Structure 1
Amino acid sequence: MTDLVVRPLAAGEENLFDSMPDPLPQLRQVAYADGLAGGGYRPERTWVALRGGRVVARAAWVLPPGAIGEPWLERFDLAAEPEAGAALLHAAHEALGGPQLYYAALPAHWRHRAEVRAVAEAPMAAARLAGLVEQGERLRLTWTGAPLPAFSGRYTFRPAADHAEINDLVARIARPDVLTGREVALAVRGVDLATEPLAWLNSPAGAWRIALRAGEPVGLVGTAGDACYPLIAYLGLLDEAVRAELLAEAVRVLAEGGAREVVADADAHRVATVAELERTGFRQVRSRIVFAPAP
């Protein structure tokens, strides 16, 4: 780590962050300049490590304006040994009041792509050296117009009657299949999307669809067509057999409302959910490895 200089950005030198070439240009993410303009990124929460005047590591913590939670590490790129990245993180953690969550964004199927693994492994190793512990993996998938599977006729679907009906079903669903934007809901408003989706989503009750079999509810899905992009925000099941048709119903409703792309997030270990999303025409576009401070 010869002559490594670690420091936050000063106001007016924001371009220093972008002087480091993007190591994963195929990954769709918010540009640093756009994050600054929106107020989520700030120079004092952006750190760089320089060697010979060249940026060899950069890290940016983000917190949307008005959020009640703590900033999380959204961008962390490293073109040096893991120890250099760990030195940056240690210094930043000390200045920012301690380590926070880190969401390591990676292209889809990154483990099977040697060129991506070569880029990804160093910053994740640095995070571990800095005391962060891997907690799981979240996948983002998108549907962009693929034909939907046929409906069997075993189920019927209707809009939720009111918020009370939604809350009643949510209370009966222990582990929702799809929770899109769960991390942001928690950081911005302190809301667990799995148990309090209506505290985060401002869509009307009619935007929620209930699946029924023989008149009894067997699944619930909440969509948002007017968010930053159309998405399946919540999908929970009382009967796993309805998963495929409830997904197709949600996409059908959004597509009829004009959506050309639909987004859904699911935990990577939910193998059946991910497989059903892909059978419905979704494709993986991003992975996020979740790192948390060690207990």
Structure 2
Amino acid sequence: MNPNDVTMRPITGREELDLFCRLSYALNGEFPEDLARARRRPEWMWVALRGDRLLARAAWWTRPGNDTPHLLDVLDVDDGLPAHERVEVGERLLRTAAAAVLPDGAPRPEYTRFVPPGWRDDPATARPVRDRMTILERAGARLFVERLRLEWRPGTAVPGPSGRLAFRPVQDSGELLTLMAAVLEGTLDAHSREDLTRMSPREAAAAQYEEELARYPSPREWWRIATLPDGEPVGFVIPAHNTYNPVIAYIAVLPGHRGRGHVDDILAEGTRVLAAQDVPRIRASTDLGNVPMAAAFRRAGYVDFEREINMTWD
């Protein structure tokens, strides 16, 4: 590939979304609203062009109100290019865009990509996924975790209360933070485990609460504490809307109450809360290696509809 015949630049604005979307991906339909709500910025959406042909693209996403990118969630190349050129142009674009977009010395945002559940088994899906992972690896990233994305659909039966547990709203953020810190003991979640290498359980809980849960636009009245009949907490569930979908944002059982099937009752309650809102779907995710949680979602009628690849920089 002749580097002199490739132009790399950010898009000029919404008027170039059609250009940016010439490469297909599941998130394409979200870009207009993301721009309108300041989750994306044109200067964070880069393209590599040869004439008017789109060879590659990269884009970052953030939460509203943030001034810096939070995730690298778009990295695509023209899959019709020769193999060496796909990787070369993708790596060049990523390095060029990152140098312009990311603050000097700041940690690099995590990379995330949605892929089909059986992506390894189908050459037609495996090659594009591996191309993008190779680009990231050549730019210094490594695979961090693969996650299951699950979905409950209307018409799926929701079990009624078993009577073993009672449910009540969260009293205040302090109560929830105490429970969030407690459930980190023995966690199988890769992101939580990594957080605990850098901060205390209380600090990790506070960071997740402030950066994620507190930002949801849905009512906090949906959040539920699960208790024994005598009022002792055994876990909690956070049904929410993350501005894209209704989600089970967080579900957990306290260490002393694990292994007794309580997760099924807690998940059923969270599902009932959202199903009562007449939602078109409920989404959730868990690490591929978190076998007990994945099994609980499947028992509740959630189906695997996608995987998520997370890659990070050391």
Place the TM-score, normalised by the shorter chain, in its bin: 0.7 to 0.9
CA distance in 1, matches of 2:59, 2:297: 32
Q: Give the letter aligned to residue 233 of structure 1.
A: A
Report whether the alignment pairs 1:16 with 2:26. no
Corresponding residue for residue 193 of structure 2: none
Superposition pairs of residues 40-119 of structure 1, within 5 angstroms: 40-51=39-50, 53-79=52-78, 80=81, 81-97=86-102, 99-119=108-128
Partner of 1:140: 149
Q: Aligned letter for 1:95? A: A
2:233 to 217, 221, 227: 217
CA distance in structure 2 between the partners assigned to 1:57 and 1:223 by the alignment: 37
CA pair 212-39 structure 1, distance change in 2 beyond 3 A: closer
Equivalent pair of 1:86/1:129 in contact (CA under 8 Å): yes
The match for 1:229 is: 245
SS at match of 1:192: helix
Deviation digits for residues 64-85 of structure 1, max 9, x if unmatched? 4411543432211112421221
Tell me the distance in 1 between the aligned counterparts of 2:284 and 2:219: 19
CA contact (8 A) 2:216 2:241 kept: no
> How large is the Cα RMSD of the aligned pairs?
3.1
Separation in 2, partners of 1:205, 1:63? 22
Determine the structure 2 residue equivalent to 1:192: 207
Is the contact made by 1:225 and 1:254 (CA closer than 8 Å) also made in structure 2? Answer: no
Secondary structure at 1:83 match in 2? helix
How far apart, in 2, do the equivalents of 1:259 and 1:120 lie? 31
Q: Structure 2 vs 1, CA of residues 41 and 214 (structure 1 numbering), >3 Å: closer, same or farther?
A: closer
Alpha-carbon shift at residue 245 of structure 1 (Å) = 1.3
Name the CA distance, whole Å, in 1 between partners of 2:75 and 2:301: 31
Query: Which residue of the partner structure matches residue 5 of structure 1?
Result: 6
Higher deviation after alignment, 224-233 or 78-87: 224-233
User: Residues 223 and 230 of structure 1 are in contact (CA less than 8 Å); yes or no, is this contact kept in structure 2?
Assistant: yes
- What is residue 167 of structure 2 aligned with on the other side? 157
Deviation at 1:264, TM superposition (A): 1.6
Match of residue 31 from structure 2: 32
Give the 3 Å change call, closer, same or farther, for CA 225–74 of structure 1 in structure 2: closer
Structure 1 SS opposite 2:177? helix
Distance 1:65 1:153, change over 3 A: closer
Task: Give the partner amino acid of 1:154.
Answer: R
Distance 1:130 1:221 in 2: 38
Residue type at the aligned position of 2:88: E
- Inter-partner Cα distance in structure 2 for 1:166 and 1:100: 27
What TM-score, normalized by structure 1, do the two folds share? 0.80
The answer (yes or no) to whether the contact 1:142–1:262 under 8 Å persists in 2 is: yes
Alignment match, 1:252: 272
Compared CA separation, residues 279 and 156, structure 1 to 2 (3 A) = same
Shift of 1:43: 2.8
Q: Please tell me the residue identity of whatever aligns with 1:11.
A: T
* Contact 1:17–1:48 (Cα < 8 Å) also in 2: yes
The residue type equivalent to 2:89 in the other structure is A
Q: Deviations over 1:21-51 (max 9, x none)?
A: 41x5xx3654434433333333322222234
Structure 1 pair 191/94, CA: closer, same or farther in 2 (3 Å)? farther
In 2: Cα distance, 1:43 partner to 1:221 partner: 36
Q: Which structure 2 residue ranges, 5 or more long, are not aligned? A: 191-204
- Kindly provide the amino acid, as one letter, of the partner of residue 140 in structure 1: R
The one-letter amino acid of 1:100's match is: P
Whether the 8 Å CA contact 1:197–1:234 is kept in 2: the answer is: no
Give 2:200's aligned residue.
none
Q: Which runs of 5 or more structure 1 residues have no equivalent in the other structure?
A: 180-189
Once the two structures are TM-superposed, the CA of residue 152 in structure 1 deviates from its matched residue by 4.0
Q: Is the 8 A contact 2:217 2:243 kept in 1?
A: no
Could you give the per-residue CA deviations for residues 118-137 of structure 1, whole angstroms, max 9, x where no partner exists? 22111111111111222112
The Cα of 1:195 is off from its aligned counterpart by: 8.5
Cα distance in 2 for partners of 1:277, 1:250 equals 11
Instruction: Show CA shifts across 1:135-172 (max 9, x none).
Output: 11233322112112465433333333444432332232
Q: How far apart, CA to CA, are the structure 1 residues paired with 2:210 and 2:45?
A: 33
Kindly indicate whether the alpha-carbon contact (under 8 Å) linking 2:7 and 2:50 is maintained by their aligned counterparts in 1: no
Q: Say if 1:207 and 1:222, in contact at 8 Å, map to a contact too.
A: yes
Task: Indicate the larger mover: 232-241 or 221-230.
Answer: 221-230
